Amino acid sequence: MRYRQFTTFVPQINAMIRFFTSLLLVLFALTASPNLLKANEEHELSDSVSTKKFNTGDLIFNHIKDSYEWHIATVGHTHISIPLPVMVYSQHSGFHCFMSGKLHHGTESFDGFRIAAEGKYQRKLVEIMADGTEVRPWDFSITKNVTSLFISILLILIIFLSVAKRYRDNFARAPKGLQSWLEPVVIFICDDIAKPSIGKEKYQRYLPFLLTIFFFIFINNLMGLVPFFPGGANLTGDISVTLVLALFTFVITSFSGSRDYWVHLVNAPGIPLWLKLPLPLMPIVEIMGVFIKPFVLTIRLFANITAGHIVALGFYSLIFIFAEKSIIAGYGISVLSIAFTVFMGILELLVAFIQAYVFTLLSALYIGLALEKHEHHA
């Protein structure tokens, strides 16, 4: 029960952290180093000159949403991007596989497929039917986020297999290099997240899962903050990804649920009878809770990371919005804008850790609650 109180407390901690960091943000804006900013200003200017009509919404959504190619830079009117494989299964024309370069950045159609410019399927691949309507096929494309997913998984495997090798060779050796960075975090997750949440007897069974989600989320959050190629995809800010992570927690929670857990869902003891009969109010609330937990996990991670990206890009876009009115205003605002963006970056470093921590902690708590036995109840 102690933990349930703590879970309700987590959003408040988040809100507090956000408040204090925004205060710091303003302070930093007033004292930012002018040299650092000057170097950035010139760079931004050359970008803004090439942009004809600036659309903030497009810029932000192009970044935070998935795409079929990995855009690196735009020089003049030439887009430099890495084409990625498109794989679709259409109910009408079967299986198709081609590189996204054939679509010419979404300006042309290929093989009866194109990227919808607007409407319900905006930015997604659609099949053009004979009557001109757009139909969404089964889309297995290796998109920007899928590529980023693969890269991050490769990175995680390289990191942890090399670290594991050191332990396998000689566990008694003092930690060194990467190992000494990771070891405190691993011990933190074991001793401060898993052990108190799940309990001493059974926590070891769930450690591999908790460690994996923590480092998966943390490393992908960090990769999302790197603005160029291997990073920059908004993977943990994609609801499909967070949904899968939450589903894992949900499945593990459900499968490890004790008898008490299921009985309490339907017939919680210590609650007045009129809340259960004739209208089963409490059972409805409890059963809803089972599904709300993973839903909340999905939304929290998705919203936090996406919001971070949107805010950082929003500040950045201010330069171009003002520069469209007058070039001097663009210069002027860039000082503030860069300061904000830099600080959003630093704040997001913090958020990257906090969100990984919160997701892992809540998963551990949900598992712990499902395992709990209530012998003391009458």
Partner 1 sequence: MGLVMPEFGLFFWMLLSFSILLFLLKRFAWGPILKGLADREMSIEEALKSAENAKEEMLNLQAGNEKILKKAIFERETIVKEARELKESIIRDARNEATIEANKVMDHARASIERERIAAISEIKSLIANFSVEIAERILQEKLADESKQKELIQNYIDQINLN
CB closer to partner 1, 198 vs 243: 243
Cα 16 from chain centroid (whole Å):
21
For residue 209, state whether it binds partner 1 (rule: CB under 8 A).
yes
Among 168, 200, 259, 376, binds partner 1 (CB under 8 A): 168
Q: Which x/- pattern, by CB under 8 A, does the window 254-293 give for partner 1?
A: ----------------------------------------
Find the shortest distance in angstroms from Cβ 124 to partner 1: 7
Residues 303-362 that bind partner 1 (CB under 8 A): 306
Phi-psi region of 125 (alpha: psi -120 to 50; beta: other; left: phi over 0): beta
295 makes contact with partner 1 (CB under 8 A) = no
Answer yes or no: are the C-beta atoms of 38 and 356 closer than 8 Å: no
β-sheet bridge partners, residue 128? 134
Nearer to partner 1, 239 or 346 (CB): 239
State the pairing for strand pair 69-75/78-83. Answer: antiparallel
DSSP 264-303: HHHS-TTS-GGGTSSS-HHHHHHHHHHHHHHHHHHHHHHH
Picking from 194, 188, 196, the residue whose alpha carbon sits closest to that of residue 2 is: 196
Query: Which residue among 45, 128, 156, 265 contacts partner 1 (CB under 8 A)?
Result: 156
Q: Is residue 150 close enough to count as binding partner 1 by CB under 8 A?
A: yes
41-80 residues near partner 1, rule: CB under 8 A: 61, 64-66
Q: Is 228 in the site for partner 1 (CB under 8 A)?
A: no
Amino acid residing at 193 = I
- In terms of Cβ atoms closer than 10 Å to its own Cβ (0-12, 13-18, 19+), residue 95 is exposed
For 347, counting Cβ atoms within 10 Å of its Cβ (0-12 exposed, 13-18 middle, 19+ buried), the class is: buried
Beta carbon of residue 98, minimum distance to partner 1 (angstroms, whole number): 15
Backbone phi, psi, residue 304, to 5°? -65, -45
Q: Compute the least distance from the CB of residue 152 to partner 1, in Å.
A: 9
Residue 370 lies near partner 1 (rule: CB under 8 A): no
Q: Is the peptide bond prior to 230 cis by the omega test (within 30 degrees of 0)? A: no
Stretch of residues binding partner 1 (CB under 8 A), selected from 71-79, 159-167, 287-295, 323-331: 159-167
User: For residues 69 and 142, is the Cβ–Cβ distance under 8 A?
Assistant: no
The least distance separating partner 1 from the CB of residue 135, rounded to whole angstroms, comes to 14
Q: How far is residue 46's CA from residue 350's CA, in Å, rounded to a whole number?
A: 31
Residues 147, 81 contacting (CB under 8 angstroms): no
Site stretch for partner 1 (CB under 8 A), options 100-108, 164-172, 281-289, 332-340: 164-172
Q: Which stretch binds partner 1 (CB under 8 A): 14-22, 206-214, 268-276, 362-370?
A: 206-214
Per-residue interface string for the shown chain with partner 1, residues 111-130, x marking contact by CB under 8 A: ----------xxxx------
Binding residue for partner 1, selected from 193, 243, 361, 365, defined by CB under 8 A: 243
Binding of partner 1 by 211 (CB under 8 A): yes
Residues contacting residue 183 through CB under 8 Å, at least 6 positions apart: 175
Nearer residue to partner 1 within complex by CB, 156 or 346: 156
Q: Which residues bind partner 1 (CB under 8 A)?
A: 61, 64-66, 121-124, 138-143, 145-146, 149-150, 153, 156-157, 160-161, 163-168, 171-172, 183, 186-187, 190, 204, 207-209, 211-212, 216, 238-241, 243-245, 247-248, 302, 306
